[in-house]
Amino acid sequence: MDLELFEQYFAATFGDQRLSRGERSALKALVEDLDPTPEQRLELVGRAFATARGAAARARPGQVLTWLEAVVRLLLTTAGSKVADAVFAPHQDCALRLRKLFDAASRSVDVCVFTITDDRITRAILRAHQRGVALRIVSDDLKAFDLGSDVHRLAQAGVPLRVDRSEDHMHHKFALFDQRLLVTGSYNWTRSAAERNRENLAVTDDRRLVAAFREEFERLWRDFGRR
């Protein structure tokens, strides 16, 4: 994260020793967009104090404190991640949550799962494909031939598919919706996982997690495309 960008913003907003409504909104949007780590937020607070100290001699103390209080409050309370949900099978409907995510997707979905046999989820994938959502699926080559597996059915419908072609398993279970939401957990996309197994599914828009899983998906997509 570019801490210098915040320093420049602090200096610019301190010009009149107050944080206007527009400046407050812009700073909040910047924090939400860059989503600093807790350590980075503390560093930014330190830099805000440094800005205030540097200008204290030429500004009224009350105005300095008012500006500093507003900036620090925004830095420490503005949340970058807004989605953080957990769903547990079998007493909660993981399959329904996945179907809703596919139905809400508008641009892209990258799926990386061990197996897909739940026809309800498969139909949601096909609906997204028919709407023009850019889909890609990475799966396990051996599980693709299990009775009831839907991955080849999806490939025949035109959904791009790559498998590992290895004696080892591609055992991931995650998906990225519109490059914004990550779904991951123990949950396999099967009827048994939905109705009998003890499983978990986590949904988050945490940028760092989304970026890490996106990098892993792209690595697998490249590697499996070479074989």
The structure tokens 């596919």 sit at 102
- Give the pLDDT of residue 6: 79
Single out the catalytic residue among 100, 152, 169, 171: 171
Helix (H) or strand (E) holding 205: none
Q: Please, what CATH class does the domain formed by 84-225 belong to?
A: alpha beta
β-pairing verdict for 161-163 and 181-184: unpaired
- Residue 214, Cβ neighbours under 10 Å: how many? 14
β-pairing verdict for 181-184 and 199-204: antiparallel
- Reported as a single tens digit per residue, the pLDDT across 170-216 is 999 999 999 999 999 999 999 999 999 999 999 999 888 999 999 99
Phi, then psi, of 73 in degrees rounded to 5: -60, -45
Single out the catalytic residue among 173, 205, 206, 223: 173
Single out the catalytic residue among 35, 93, 146, 178: 178
Q: Show me where the domains of the chain are located.
A: 3-77, 84-225
Catalytic (active site) residue 178: yes
- Reported as a single tens digit per residue, the pLDDT across 211-225 is 999 999 999 999 998
- pTM over 0.75? The answer is no
